[in-house]
Chains A and B, each alone.
Chain A
């Protein structure tokens, strides 16, 4: 333990306290009774109300665990879709030469730029035309587009990561007779782990928190996801269940947090390209 590492650790701890205080406040508030939540400021409840948790769990006709499952299902599918389709597209943009590549790349970045609120209504009408809205699997409009690399963010992310992989490795593989498909399979794919893990993490979190689109496409209580279910605790014109809402909000942080904890280990191992030589 030298001075530098003590200094580093202290800086981290101070930063952490500042950064986490709002969350601490949230957790504390989840244990407050309804008549304290809006009228007190401290993070510590005056009357400890753990009942908020079982209340929130059973508050709606379907218990909250169901919503966790639904959100996990949707997020899981989105992750798979994103990882698959975006990596394929990114490989093409980063490593292959083909006519109009610049145009497609520009268009891809362009799709990131349009504010999403003006797309909601046209997309809804489009998906309705496809017959994806409602029905026994209402998650289709939320999930299927992600199998078609709709998230330019991840395509661009992976392009940048792939471009960080030394070209010599590609060349070496080509010398050995690899086709582009082979290069993908034997060079790029194994080395794309940081990019894929990052994609998985972000896909999970964004899908987990995606309120508006899930609200629009889901109308059946048993199919609701977490953010949609949480709106049922809070009606700003009338009745609210603030305590249970905070409790369930805190609880819904857990899966995302655990997912992140688990996957970030995979970010830990660096890539050591020297292992591929010789």
Chain B
């Protein structure tokens, strides 16, 4: 297929030469992320500067600063170059830095992208450190640290636990003497409850979660399926059709808002969630997002598990800390994240801002000392649920972010009445298969 000119250079080769010469210098630099040497050991006194990148708000930054300062106190030779921002553009920047061979030594990451980075060998394999005890996960719930495994290797240290949480508008319900949703209610009961709320209060009872991958995932697990099974999808078309039909029924009964309002709630943005903007009685989020939702509304909020068997839920790592494979001070970096996760003083500083502390001892002491009511509530809900969790799934596959957006698209096609549940389901499954096999 490549034509060979008289000079013997095929078109493909010529193009490659062109591209190659343009790339020559940058290539030298970009090929710098290799395993050569792990740098100074954690106990050396050589001056080391680690770059640390995370997303969050000012509150998280203040706490992280303090915790890192504590580490520097104990290891005066280690200083930090800290960079943080809101999560808009965070992963774009992280990817760009990585491309330039400039990824931070330690960076925060979540289960949406862990596999993307780990499967391309950007993250350091932490398994050796875990085995030698330098990275201590002994006090972590087993399912929690296992949620950081990609292809059998530990790609990130789970930092903060959360689980699915159905947040509801307490004030609205109380003012109309309506019952609150309860953990363990069935999906049908929940929809009936919501339809009643709509009728009595005028506010739609529940947000339609058919586009929410976390709701769909729980529902699948309650049926013995999974979102992903090994390297394949863990569900088929009939599952998706059933899910979409369930919510079509709910919409028909006016248990949910209209499609355009649902669309607002489909945004991943916390500030747009309908329970906070007052456009629905509930939102389907993560338990530890409740305090933030509370700030956005004058109403009282409550939180319970998603409907159905609570075994469908699991201890999810709200985020991880990973170390860059090309870091020049790997051992020190691992020591730092070990410190943040397991040191009692650091744990007390960081609190529950990133989710429930992974280390159970720290979790117990922190839960007692927090004064934020909303935080206390989400902790106790998570703890209660923790006794009822099922086995955790594997961390999502490469292509997961595409699966998420396709689900929203398919659900919205259904919600706006542009396609039947079956047709949307078929399109969704086809798109997912393409996404994870690419």
* Most chain A CB within a 10 A radius of its CB, from B89, B96, B268, B289: B96
CB closest chain-A residue, reference B291: A239
Give the complex CA separation of A129 and B89 in angstroms.
23
Complex partner residue of A237 from B29, B270, B276, CB under 8 angstroms: B270
Known contacts A39-B278, A236-B268; A219/B81 CB under 8 A: yes
Check A211/B89 contact, CB under 8 A, given A35-B297, A126-B26, A128-B102.
yes
Nearest residue (CB) in B for A117 is B92
Spot the interface stretch: B6-14, B51-59, B124-132, B229-237.
B51-59
Q: Are A125 and B289 in contact (CB under 8 A)?
A: no
CB pair A39 B289 closer than 8 Å: no
Task: Give min CB distance, B164 to chain A, whole Å.
Answer: 15
- Chain A positions within 8 Å of B57 at CB level: 232-233, 235, 238-241
Interface size on A, residues (CB 8 A): 39
Q: Give chain A nearest CB distance to B272 CB in angstroms.
A: 7
Contact between chains at B26 and A35 (CB < 8 Å): no
Binary interface encoding of chain B residues 89-108 relative to chain A, with 1 for a CB under 8 A from any of its CBs, else 0:
10011011101111000000
Taking a contact as CB atoms closer than 8 A, the residue among A38, A231, A233, A237 that contacts B268 in the complex is: A237
Query: Count of B residues near A, CB < 8 Å?
Result: 44
A202 CA to B29 CA, complexed, in Å: 35
Tell me if B134 counts as interface (CB < 8 A to partner A): no
Q: How far is the CA of A211 from the CA of B276 in the complex (A)?
A: 28
B292 CB contact (under 8 Å) in A39, A126, A133, A240: A240
A 220-250 contacts with B by CB, 8 A = 220-221, 228, 231-242
A215 to B278, CA, bound (A): 33
Which residues of B lie under 8 Å from residue A120 when comparing CB positions? 96
CB of B107 to closest CB in A, whole Å? 12
Chain A residue with Cβ nearest B264: A38
Q: When A125-B29, A236-B271 are in contact, do A35 and B86 touch as well, CB less than 8 Å?
A: no
Within 8 A of B (CB), among A174-230: 211-212, 215-216, 219-221, 228
Contact B289 A237 (CB under 8 A): yes
Please determine whether B92 and A212 come into contact, CB atoms closer than 8 angstroms: yes
Q: Which of A36, A128, A231, A241 contacts B85 (CB 8 A)?
A: A231
Contact of B26 among A125, A215, A231, A232 (CB under 8 A): A125
Residue A121 interfacial (CB < 8 Å):
yes
Given contacts A129-B26, A240-B271, contact A232 B89 (CB under 8 A): no
Complexed CA–CA distance, A235 and B298 (Å)? 20
- Cβ of A161 within 8 Å of any chain B Cβ, yes or no, is no
Give the B-binding residues of A (Cβ under 8 A): 34-39, 59-61, 120-122, 124-126, 128-129, 133-134, 211-212, 215-216, 219-221, 228, 231-242
Given contacts A232-B58, A234-B86, A235-B55, 12 further A-B contacts (CB under 8 A): A35-B295, A37-B271, A39-B276, A121-B95, A121-B99, A128-B101, A133-B102, A215-B93, A231-B86, A231-B88, A234-B88, A239-B56
- Whether the Cβ atoms of A216 and B88 lie closer than 8 Å is no
What residue in chain B is nearest A125 (Cβ atoms)? B26
Residues of B within 8 A of A234 (CB): 86, 88
Residues 41-59 of chain B, each 1 if its beta carbon lies under 8 Å from chain A, else 0: 0000000000101011111
Closest to A61 in B: B61
- CB pair A240 B270 closer than 8 Å: yes
Bound CA–CA A237/B60 (angstroms): 12
A129 with B29: in contact, given A211-B89, A219-B81, A236-B87 (CB under 8 Å)?
Answer: yes
Q: Which of A38, A126, A211, A228 has the most chain B CB atoms inside 10 A of its CB?
A: A38
With A126-B26, A236-B268, A239-B60: A39-B297 Cβ-Cβ less than 8 Å? yes
Check A124 against B56 for contact (C-beta < 8 Å). Answer: no
| Residues in chain A near residue B51, CB distance under 8 A | 219
- CA A121 – CA B85 in complex, angstroms? 20
Contact of B30 with A by CB under 8 A: yes
- Residue of B25, B53, B88 contacting most chain A CB atoms (<10 Å): B88
A34 to B83, CA, bound (A): 26
The answer to whether A35 touches B96 (Cβ under 8 A) is: no
* 27 A-B residue pairs with CB within 8 Å: A35-B296, A38-B271, A60-B58, A61-B61, A120-B96, A121-B95, A122-B26, A124-B100, A129-B29, A133-B100, A212-B92, A215-B89, A216-B93, A216-B97, A220-B83, A231-B89, A232-B58, A232-B61, A235-B87, A236-B87, A236-B270, A239-B57, A239-B292, A240-B86, A240-B292, A241-B58, A242-B271
